[in-house]
Amino acid sequence: MKKILNTLFVTLPDTYLSLDGDNIVVKQEEAILARYPLHNLEAVCTFGYAGVSPGLMGACASRNIDLTFMTRTGRFLARVIGESRGNVVLRKEQYRISDDDKRSALVARNMIIGKIYNNKWILERATRDYPLRMDTDRMKKVTASLAGAMQQVREVEDLDILRGLEGAAAVQYNSVFDELILQQKKDFYFHGRNKRPPLDNVNALLSFAYTLLSNDMKSALEAVGLDAYVGFLHRDRPGRASLALDVMEELRGVYADRFVLTLINKKLIHGKGFYRKENGAVIMDDDTRKIVLKAWQERKQEKIIHPYLNEKMSWGLVPYSQALLLARHIRGDLDEYPPFLWK
Amino acid sequence: MLILITYDVSTVDREGRKRLAKVAKKCVDHGQRVQNSVFECILDSTQFRRLKYELEELIDKKEDSLRFYNLGDNYKKKVEHMGAKEAYDMESPLIL
């Protein structure tokens, strides 16, 4: 399995990134802030309006380093993509599946099974670990209904029915998500998902974590030669990385939601680190964003055993390994797409 | 793995100074300058072999010398820093 390399996050808005030899050089008004060799990086992610030289864009594209631009609040703006990797045959097959509703449904339903399975496991694990701190009866009811939903999804061959079941399962899971927040309840609570803009601290964190995960997912898909913008479950829309969103479904819970819960429950972040704009949007301040990014990077280094590949790897490689398995399925080497079922 | 590279390039003539600049540039491309002619590079074994070969091509073996110290993957325990110019850790989160 490949090695996970580092990601450089640039959160200072008045910086300029350029290329010098094989180094990325970060400048702030002509003063050099930092210099890193490119071969140690796999992604560069900028927040705010950091400028980048065309030379560096080219170097990143040719070395398959993912260069992403986001707003200060973490909303995705653009990314630099080089020549498509992998082979055309694989991508054409991907497009064929995407055009065929039934074949799309067969792949997408495995992803949804993965999602429901993982979310159910998150709830079961929490109920087992903290039986006295949550409404166990309510949790048991939800996990039972998730188990039922999983049974139904297994049989579905129609995309719209699949979307309906997925939505219903998400509503169930969201209805008890607040129970999983064990600390700092005054500042962190979950009364339902809202986005664009997020209206409370937890939703702001979730949105940010999903953006980070989708960036990792997009570059993983491109790295194995798939087109991140052509999906099976999510419909095509210009600028939307539908396939990345598809594969992300199974990872949202175990990867992003649990990450957010850890930040809150371990008190790594505090309510003071968030502020509200006039339109109600909740935004984290610069220090909090740095804490979140640091924790995200550290999380990526943690080791797990991949349940399907049975191989020890870091969490950061899970998006890549799922992209690899999906490519193998599309190529015909695997009869079905094996979702990531967390243990 | 972490490779520590140190060099001594003779600068008595113009040719030597040219070689020094080239060697330094090559090292900057691959790692972090921790002291004037000391570099720390995080490389895999392929990258290390290539770098070694490229540096060998640059120097004049009668005048100059190169030394490579392989500190392996668990290098963090083996390096201690004192004084000015604290180095950054290439494998910890890079957030500016």
Q: What are the structural domains of chain B?
A: 2-72 (3.30.70.240)
- What's the whole-number average pLDDT of chain A? 86
The per-residue pLDDT for A234 is 82
CATH topology for A7-85 is Ribosomal Protein L15; Chain: K; domain 2 (3.100.10)
Residues A31-47, mean pLDDT to the nearest whole number: 87
Query: A314 has which bridge partners?
Result: A303
The pLDDT tens digits for A234-285 are 877 877 888 999 999 999 988 999 999 999 888 888 888 888 888 888 888 8
The per-residue pLDDT for A303 is 84
Q: Do A244 and A250 contact (CB within 8 A), yes or no? A: no
Under an 8 A CB cutoff, do B29 and A23 touch? yes
| Digitized pLDDT (tens) for each residue of chain B, 96 residues in all | 889 999 888 888 888 888 888 888 888 889 888 888 899 998 888 889 999 999 988 888 888 889 999 988 888 888 888 888 777 777 777 778
Q: Do A146 and A120 contact (CB within 8 A), yes or no? A: yes
Q: Do A210 and A256 contact (CB within 8 A), yes or no? A: yes
Residues of chain B contacting A15 with CB distance shorter than 8 Å: 96
Under an 8 A CB cutoff, do A37 and B95 touch? no
CATH topology for A90-331 is Four Helix Bundle (Hemerythrin (Met), subunit A) (1.20.120)
Q: What is the ipTM of this complex?
A: 0.79
Question: Within chain B, where are the H helices?
Answer: 14-30, 45-58
Q: What is the C-alpha to C-alpha distance for residues A123 and A140, in angstroms, rounded to an integer?
A: 9
Under an 8 A CB cutoff, do B31 and A37 touch? yes
Helix (H, G, I), strand (E, B) or coil at B53: helix
Under an 8 A CB cutoff, do B93 and A9 touch? yes
Chains A, B: CB contacts within 8 A come to 58
Domain boundaries, chain A: 7-85, 90-331
Question: What is the nearest CA distance from A157 to chain B, expressed in angstroms?
Answer: 43
Residues of chain B contacting A22 with CB distance shorter than 8 Å: 29-30
pLDDT at A161 over 80: yes
Nearest CA in chain A to B95: A9
DSSP result, A187-254: T---SS---SS--SHHHHHHHHHHHHHHHHHHHHHHHTT--TT--SSSPP-TT--HHHHHHHHHHIII
* Lookup: tokens for A249: 């479904």
Nearest CA in chain A to B26: A21
Nearest CA in chain A to B1: A40
Under an 8 A CB cutoff, do B28 and A12 touch? no
* Lookup: tokens for A111: 């992803």
Task: Find the CB nearest B96 among A15, A39, A297.
Answer: A15
Instruction: Give percent of chain A with pLDDT exceeding 90.
Output: 11
